[in-house]
Amino acid sequence: MPNPQLSAPGVYLTEVVGGTRTVTGVTTAVTAFVGRALRGPVHEPVPLSSMSEFEQVFGGLWRDSGLGYAVRDFYLNGGGTALVVRLAGGAGTARMDAGGLPLTAAGPGSWGNDLVARVTYPTDQDAGEVARNLSVDGGVLFNLEVWEAGGGDRESFLNLTLDDGPRRVDRVLENSRLVRAGTLPQGTARPQKGQYQVVAASSGDDGNDLEVSDYLGQQGEDFQGTGRGLYMLNRADLFNLLCLPPSRPDGDLNPAIWSEAARLCADHRAFLLIDPPADTPIGTVRAWVAGLGLAGDVLRDAALYVPRIRHADPLRDGALGTFAPCGTIAGVMARTDASRGVWKAPAGLDAGIVGATGLEQLVGDTESGTLNPLGINCLRTFPQAGTVVWGARTLRGADALADDYKYVPVRRFALFLEESLYRGTQWVVFEPNDEQLWSQIRTSLGSFMQDLFRQGAFQGRTPREAYFVACDAETTTQYDIDRGIVNIRVGFAPLKPAEFVVITVQQKTADAVG
């Protein structure tokens, strides 16, 4: 630090920034869900922390969509934070004229047809006092009350105006869960008093089943550039798992959607959970995977679990239904991460599926023994343990490929390290590129890796065997320094799951007692 200007004799105090920087591990099970919902915003990823929040924002379970069931299974099995992106599928938005004030439902869907609005005026005494504080005429103030006729949410907004200012109605209604204001009328002091409803000509609807264009856009539409459809997730700061529930619980997704979703996950260091089609025989699953068009390294960031899960459907009086497993698997992963760590395989007898009453198809040792070497994970039911996850391989986990990221926990742990180190080294940018910087980097990253070692995240009895952090004159040459580059190398010895437990039993003859 530069010395202070010394003039008069005395003691001069300066503060020096500490030489260590802390790397904090990112969360590992923030799960993004993209699909069709009954209500809610359609142009943003909405963070949720419980099923009750999903019910409040997106309307809860819906018989015509698999999204709500996947989110329910996620929280039922131990999920924490979710990001929900609603795709409308061409749904229409309800509109009403509230005494000259145009209002639209806060989101598309038939739910908006039950909206009722009431416009009232404040008393002269109240209007006068508020008008003085807002520097407006008391004759332009009005109150707006909005509710759902079926007994849902109810909201009240006081002292609104059509004029520009802090209480202009369109700005205030941006925070409403029910309505938005349209183009404000010109030359009107305020809306007319009265109670108003949505008329049939302006009613909303729930749209159709989602198509490829709803996720990826039609030809000539730049969904990726505008952040629409599946690419709304580009606006999210972080997500670790991606679930794409089918448009209908018994439906399936177009292979083009899975292919693009895998590439999106690779770009965001996230992991894709692929659902099998409904009523697909176990023996034909591998052929279906081959038809997805996935190849190369993107297979490391995806896993497939079969078959689908059966559990009670509360919207059908508890009748058993068959549902895609992605939400369930994400919940099991979140639960395992919280209790054991992201390096532990989310499989085994501890990876029980809560709420499942069975599976769409019976899976035994024969089916599991056929699919596991091909990189396809099975869900199985055991007499005492119930329904559990019984596989932990990525789609790059076929024995014939011999890939470094054969196992789900190894790949997810590597993604966790990459994201944590990426975020934890942002401070390095524009720092002087010399030995002092390299030493700080080694200390910062080494402390992070050492903490993981103490938690049992690596193989090896000693830190030297478990990991290394290199940043010195060997990794960063003078040529690199001249180009403004600092090179950091981090290596780790991952834990790999014990897939096969081999027990050898030998008969031993007792020694004769003499």
Residues 251 and 352 in one domain: yes
Q: What is the pLDDT of residue 222?
A: 74
Domain count, the chain: 3
- The answer to whether the CB of 441 falls within 8 A of the CB of 486 is yes
Overall average pLDDT of the 370-394 stretch: 94
Q: What is the pLDDT of residue 513?
A: 55
Residue 494 falls within a domain, yes or no? Answer: yes
Q: Which domain holds residue 452?
A: 426-514
The string of pLDDT tens digits covering residues 446-475 is 999 999 999 999 999 999 999 999 999 999
Residue 446 falls within a domain, yes or no? Answer: yes
Band (422; pLDDT cuts 50, 70, 90): very high
Element (H, E) at 116: strand 115-120
Residue 419 falls within a domain, yes or no? Answer: no
Domain end (from 202, 227, 246): 202
Residues 453 and 396 in one domain: no
pLDDT over threshold 90, residue 350: yes
Residue 235 falls within a domain, yes or no? Answer: yes
Q: What is the pLDDT of residue 506?
A: 84
Residues 47 and 171 in one domain: no
Residues 304 and 443 in one domain: no
Overall average pLDDT of the 330-338 stretch: 97
Count helices and strands (H / E) in the chain.
14, 20
Report the phi/psi class of residue 394: left, alpha or beta, with left for phi > 0 and alpha for psi in -120 to 50: beta
Q: Comparing 36-40, 293-297, 354-358, which segment has the lowest mean pLDDT?
A: 293-297
Residues 193 and 229 in one domain: no
Element (H, E) at 154: strand 154-160
pTM: 0.91
CATH code, domain with 174: 2.60.40.4290
Q: What is the pLDDT of residue 140?
A: 86
Tell me the sheet residues that pair with 154.
147
Residues 284 and 401 in one domain: yes
pLDDT over threshold 70, residue 19: no
Residues 332 and 439 in one domain: no
Residues 313 and 442 in one domain: no
CATH code, domain with 339: 3.40.50.11780
Query: Of the candidates 178, 169, 148, which has an alpha carbon nearest to the alpha carbon of residue 100?
Result: 169
Residue 402 falls within a domain, yes or no? Answer: yes
pLDDT over threshold 70, residue 166: yes
The string of pLDDT tens digits covering residues 304-321 is 999 999 999 999 998 999
Overall average pLDDT of the 401-420 stretch: 95
Tell me the sheet residues that pair with 148.
115
**Percent of the chain clearing pLDDT 90 (strictly above):** 70
Residue 39 falls within a domain, yes or no? Answer: yes
pLDDT over threshold 70, residue 280: yes
Tell me the sheet residues that pair with 161.
168
Residue 464 falls within a domain, yes or no? Answer: yes
pLDDT over threshold 70, residue 100: yes
pLDDT over threshold 80, residue 156: yes
Query: Which residue has tokens 């919280």?
Result: 338
Q: What is the pLDDT of residue 512?
A: 56
Q: Comparing 335-339, 362-366, 404-408, 418-422, which segment has the lowest mean pLDDT?
A: 362-366
Rounded distance, CA 104 to CA 197, Å? 11
Q: Comparing 185-194, 218-227, 309-318, 482-491, which segment has the lowest mean pLDDT?
A: 218-227
pLDDT over threshold 80, residue 401: yes
Residues 436 and 328 in one domain: no
* Mean pLDDT score of the chain: 91
Q: What is the pLDDT of residue 225?
A: 77
User: What is the C-alpha radius of gyration for the chain, rounded to an integer number of angstroms?
Assistant: 29
Band (1; pLDDT cuts 50, 70, 90): low
Domain end (from 153, 180, 202): 202
pLDDT over threshold 80, residue 130: no
Residues 481 and 386 in one domain: no
Band (430; pLDDT cuts 50, 70, 90): very high
Query: Which residue has tokens 């992106």?
Result: 85
Residues 78 and 217 in one domain: yes
The string of pLDDT tens digits covering residues 66-94 is 999 999 999 999 999 999 999 988 899 99
Domain end (from 185, 202, 219): 202
Residues 276 and 385 in one domain: yes
- Starting at the edge strand found earlier in the chain, the sheet holding 115-120 runs 154-160, 142-148, 115-120, 194-197
Q: Comparing 217-221, 359-363, 376-380, 473-477, which segment has the lowest mean pLDDT?
A: 217-221
